Structure 1
Amino acid sequence: MCGIAGAWSPSARDRADSLHALGKRMGQAIAHRGPDDAGTWVDENAGLMLSHRRLSIVDLSPEGHQPMVSADGRWVIAFNGEIYNHGELRRELLALGHVFRGHSDTEVLLAAVAQWGVRAALERGNGMLAVALWDRRQRELWLARDRVGKKPLYYGWSGDGTLLFGSELSALRVHPGLDAQVNPDALALLLRLDYIPAPYSILRGVHKLQAGTLLRLDAAQWQAGASAHDPATQQERWWDARQAQEAAIARGFDGDETQALDALDALLRDAVGLRMEADVPLGAFLSGGTDSSLVTAVMQAQSARPVRSFSIGFDNVVHDESAHAAAVARHLRTDHTELRADGQAALALVPRMAHIFDEPFADSSQLPTALLCQLARQHVTVALSGDGGDELFYGYGRYARALRNEALARRLPRRLLATLAGEPGERARLGGLAALRGELGAVDLQAVARNRISRWRRPETVIHGARRALTAYDDPAALPRNGTPADALMALDFACYLPEDILTKVDRASMAVALEARAPLLDWRVVEFAWSLPLSMKRRGDTLKHLPKQLLGRYLPESLVVRPKSGFGAPVGDWLRGPLREWAEAQLDERRLREEGHFDVATIRGLWGEFLGEQRKWHTHLWGVLMFQAWREAQLRQ
């Protein structure tokens, strides 16, 4: 697990020492992602630089140093991630005559690219990655991101035409020519979703590579620059989630529930086993929920010693699952560590959120996630998580509510629907007639789903200069053309919410403390298996994630399996009225809001006043504003 960065300016012909200096500065900006080693490689004639920061996980020797040049000298790689099946690929490449210096997965990936080409190498790999590859023969730069989007990659052009790219925005911001203006459309997405999905970023002219895509640039494409670049057409899919889901649905699962349980057990054991390979200490996040408990159980079943497990608890009982996590740990006999967090811990951490997440991010579970990662890093360098189970196995209660609302809207007379048409705005979040209009006025399943996941319903009205930016929740092409409405809802979350919220949160929080997080449930084989299952194996009556729960029952007693679902959140409302109130008031100061000019001041101050007066529960709306304000403040101090 590492951080990568780079720059390319073919016409500049920068001197090698200038490029190395830039690479060192860009690498230093993301040093937290890789504190163990640093490297810069320069092609002076091409005006290209690759920078790398290393967190050593597999092959701790200097043979794993990056950037790395292929044995034939053609390819140079800067790689962030892990290729879990590198042993299998290594054996195949050895049979084809390749010779390896060390045993890192980076060297295997580089040899695979040299043997089969970029696309085929990516398709053969099983892992997570963000990668930059320079083809010295063809003078082409390749940027790629893994199937699910576990690892991030930003790119954009500076004012002088230099192409910049890196694992985090902070690496790009090192270049003095980068125009660091806020993109109001992306800010509106932050308020709507709590995150900014790819290909957007908070900065104008900077894009994020989308999950399962690659970008190939030659000198002509570089010269066209930012003005001619369209992420929608130039980011090419090397793995298409919709096509894979459609194929899995069409294929289906040919077997009964017992056979499905056996198949899932075998797949998950292999996926977990592959992710237990490391030359450093390893553990697991254990919230006590179905997914993390299942991953920890399968992990412990394959370990000769007690697995290190970690959980976090809160004084607020609504958000506290620590007792259940401890009970699971006792049954599995893991070596369990628990952290108790209160408002004071949050108060200490909140000012650092802007640095940890690099780009504004407002999912309040960022706080416990960051605290959990800090705890785990004191003991291990790698931690397995249960991320992905909800999106694959029908784990959210909002799916049932969305299907109910969509079915009800289809039964209502068109005349009545016409009277409900029109977005009622933020009051739709407060119940009553406005909420009814907001729900039943949605015209199709995607609109219903968008309502369920939207924090702000009309964020563009409160941000100066913002237009509505479209995401997977607006794009019919994101929906599988077969399957059930439930499959469609899970597909939307897999395309947007999972990579851009859940995985972004875990990546930034873990890498801020140089901890590698691995998600076995998002092994592509588990993903496509889950898509092949009928809904009856995912939802059974009111029970969500039926099959994973049944499998968990093979490892835990029923009393530890059957329980209500709890979210991994934080009592933000209590904190904003308590220990965080002074900090929040400074962020929402009326004079400051007017001078900065991003928000409609009257609306923001009005929500803050109603929240403090306990008239309305606006803390979820305000948290996105606060996270942006804290981010902007941090950028100005740099």
Structure 2
Amino acid sequence: MSGLAGLWRAHDDWNAERLEHCARSMIHALRHRGPHDYAVWSDAAASIGLSHCRHANGAAAQPAASADGRYLLSCDGSLYNRESLYHELAALDEVADGACDTALLLAAISRWGLQRTLSRCNGAFALSLWDRRERKLWLARDRVGERPMYYGWVGGDFVYASELKALHRHPRFDAAIDRDALTLLLRYDYIPAPHSIHRGVFKLAPGTLLCLSPAAMRAGAAAHDPERDTSTYWCARQRMTDAIGQRGPIALDEAVDQLEILLQQAVATRMRAPAPVGAFLSGGTDSSLVTAMLQAQSPVPVDSYTIGFDDGRHDESDWARAVARHLGTRHTEHRVDGREALSMIERLPQVWCEPFADSSQVPTLIASGIVAKRSPIALTGDGGDELFFGHCAYSRALRNARWNARVPASLRRFARSRNRDDAERARLGGLRAVWAELDADDVEGSYLQRVSRWRDPAAVVLGAREPLSVFQDRQRHLPLGDAADRVQSLDFRMDLAHGILTKIDRAGMACGLETRSPLLDRSVIEFAWSLPTQLKHHRGEHKRVLKKLLERYLPAELIYRPKHGFGAPVAGWLRGPLREWAEALLDESRLRREGLFDAVAIRALWNEFLGGQRKWHTHLWNVLMFQAWLERRQSALTVVPLPLGPLIPLAGRTEVSAAARIDLPEIDAA
């Protein structure tokens, strides 16, 4: 567990003390990611300040310098192929015995450069690298997006951090709300990279790196194009295309054997930790398989954790309990009700530092707090749905796309004109729902109907224009594969990368919990893409190969059953214990004063929902999450800035780690 932050000044009018104070203030906002120690390094001549915080059981002291003093590295995350990387570098006499992840990365970068190093790494990480010789700053993020990275320009200064709240600590931060990005929140429940809730602030996309030169830094946000100015060292679309192109015949049993080996290795590398490793166990296929493999490789009972709900339609705790009993784990179960959800509401805007509206964030945050009390690291089943055709929505999208292909073009044009009148009403069913389905031109469009909360979000965000995502941009669609491959590609690059992994990272880090996802190991991902669809989805059975593998660990009656998912009973909460909270945030005069939403339209949905329309809670939750975030942001603006000088100690420790005091050799500028 760790966090990183930094700034690169456009001017040289700050001395080392001011640079370090700003960097310290930024990293202090991330103390939940690394509460036990922090370090700050600055170079007044280059006008740059770097900072890092860490957990006692986490990364080495950073920023850390390469042997020749050229590079300074800050990294949040873990390498899972560290042994192979170590042996390769040791054979070249580049590293000493017992080298930590940080030392391995620095040695690799010095030997091969950053891009080649990243292509060799298998892990979950985000990093910053300052090249003192060339005066260039590099930012990079892991292939899937398990660890976050924000960056942007504030008052001409370039700033970056693990979370947006650290950027808010810059004394000149005043970036406006990006109304276009707000439409993405309403549609997807999250804001996908490269966008953020602020204009001029971006998220680094998974599998990419940004190299910032002095000229690019001075040019600022107005000249920055994330698509043009970042480079990709691993492209999910391209790697999936390559895997599909190389597919050959493979029997189900052979696929199960190969998958078991790969997943056992992925679990084993994520078990290596200085503290006990637990597992989230929902009772579904993915978490059950990961927990089973974790227990199979542990000499003692592992800890498993489940969250249940009073609402039986959302509760799978009985299944999870049965799985835990069969596997022999030490099981902890916690049931969430509306009162506990209400107690969590005030924390949400702080935990998710930009608006985020996946309703399962509430039980995930509660679960993370429970797990962290016993296990500082926990394995999850994230990725199984997106890699092995796990969502029922995939099947519906494929079915609807087949139906649409048979409908005459004239009827579809008519449906499109009718759908424009009120796209949101399609959620209520009836003829409107039929018109909406006929509006889709391809399977990507059909699946977009399935994942959209608001289907025309720009209609209720004043002055906004919705940016294109991978759903609407045909140039970014998967060029090979069948329709099933294409919808899984969308989910892997969108909901997994920007929704699910954001949810679990922020919830875990807020509670002092590091989460690891074996199904998102590079080898497992690329093997899954190499499998034909019939091994994942066959005769209505989802995750076919995963379930066949799970048969080696669990009886069939615990595997082949209906799936509920991990959604929270939001509708009941909003009509019950959260009603007063929601009413205040959706007050019509307040909405008008803020000037972001169409107040009349939002109030109409709220009133209809209270009157019994069951569907509108999905529309209202993302509006409420934004309103709650905005309220906290406005309150934070009234806080008096921290004075120049020492910050509040992190976890009672005031010393700065040795990384802040490293003596570096002189480096000639290129």
TM category, shorter: over 0.9
Question: 1:147 maps to what in 2?
Answer: 143
Equivalent residue number for residue 110 of structure 2: 114
Residue 484 of structure 1 aligns with an amino acid whose one-letter code is D
**Percent of counterpart pairs with the same letter?**
52
Q: Deviations over 1:72-103 (max 9, x none)?
A: 11110110111111122112111111234854
Identify the residue that residue 382 of structure 1 maps to in structure 2: 377
**Cα deviations by residue, 1:213-240 (Å, 9 ceiling, x for unpaired):** 1000111111111110001111211101
Find the counterpart in structure 1 of residue 467 from structure 2.
469
Of the structure 1 ranges 455-464 and 106-115, higher mean CA displacement relative to structure 2 is found in 106-115
Report the 3-state secondary structure (helix = DSSP H, G, I; strand = E; otherwise coil) of the residue aligned with 2:45.
coil
CA deviations over 1:112-154 (Å, ceiling 9, x no partner): 1111110111111110111100111111110011101111101
| Greater shift in the superposed pair: 42-51 or 8-17 | 8-17
Partner SS for 1:617:
helix
d(CA) in 2 for partners of 1:588 and 1:326? 39
Q: Structure 1 residue 415: deviation in Å?
A: 1.6
1:264 aligns to 2:274 (yes or no): no
**Corresponding residue number in structure 2 for 1:333:** 328
Deviations 1:517-550 (A, max 9, x none): 0000000110000000010100111110000001
Greater alpha carbon shift after TM alignment, 469-478 vs 499-508 = 469-478
Aligned partner letter, 1:568: F
Match of 1:296 in 2: 291
Amino acid at match of 1:26: M
The 8 Å contact of residues 571 and 614 in structure 2, kept in 1 or not, is answered as no
Specify the code of the residue in structure 1 equivalent to 2:233: W
Deviations 1:295-351 (A, max 9, x none): 000111111111111111111101111111011001000111111111111010011
- Identify the match of residue 304 of structure 2 among 292, 305, 309: 309
What residue ranges of structure 1 are gaps of 5+ in the alignment? none
Matched-pair contact (CA < 8 Å) for 1:272–1:299? yes
Q: Does the alignment pair 1:163 with 2:193?
A: no
RMSD: 1.2
Provide the TM-score with structure 2 as the length reference. 0.93
1:250 is matched with: 245
**Partner SS, residue 504 of structure 1:** helix
Cα drift, residue 416 of structure 1: 1.1
Instruction: State the alpha-carbon separation in 2 of the partners of residues 89 and 626 from structure 1.
Output: 46
State how far apart, in whole Å, the 2-side matches of 1:58 and 1:5 are: 17
Equivalent AA in structure 1 for residue 611 of structure 2: G
Distance 1:281 1:77 in 2: 28
Kindly state the Cα deviation for residue 10 of structure 1 after the two structures are TM-superposed. 5.0
Match of 2:3 in 1: 3
Summarize the alignment of residues 410-559 of structure 1 with structure 2, pairs less than 5 Å apart.
410-422=405-417, 423=420, 424-559=422-557
| Shift of residue 616, structure 1, vs aligned partner | 4.4
SS of residue paired to 1:156: strand
What TM-score does the superposition give when structure 1 sets the normalisation length?
Answer: 0.98
Residue 13 of structure 1 and its aligned partner are, at CA, apart by: 5.1
Q: Deviations over 1:127-184 (max 9, x none)?
A: 011110011111111001110111110111012x100000111000101212231111
Q: What is the Cα deviation at residue 14 of structure 1?
A: 2.4
Distance between the aligned counterparts of 1:305 and 1:131, measured in 2?
35
One-letter amino acid of the structure 1 residue matched with residue 39 of structure 2: G
Question: What is the CA deviation profile of residues 363-401 of structure 1, one whole-angstrom value per residue up to 9, with x for unaligned ones?
Answer: 101011111101100101100000000000000111111
Deviates more, 1:552-561 or 1:248-257: 248-257
Match of 1:179 among 174, 180, 195: 174
Q: Which residue number in structure 2 is paired with residue 22 of structure 1?
A: 22
Q: Count residues with an aligned counterpart.
A: 633
Shift of 1:108: 1.1
SS in 2 for 1:618: helix
Partner AA of 2:322 in structure 1: A
Report how far residue 58 of structure 1 moved: 5.2
Structure 2 CA distance, aligned partners of 1:171 and 1:543? 45
Structure 1: distance between partners of 2:450 and 2:9: 44
2:203 and 2:402 map into 1 onto residues whose CA distance is 36
C-alpha displacement of 1:465: 1.2
Q: Is the 8 A contact 2:427 2:615 kept in 1?
A: no
| Post-superposition offset of 1:109 | 1.2
**Letter of the structure 1 residue corresponding to residue 530 of structure 2:** S
Question: Which residue in 2 is equivalent to 1:221?
Answer: 216
Q: Which runs of 5+ in 2 are unaligned?
A: 637-670
Alignment check: 8 A CA contact 1:365 1:570 kept: yes
1:371 maps to which residue? 366
Amino acid at match of 1:366: Q
Letter in 2 for 1:46: A
- The SS at the match of 2:378 is strand
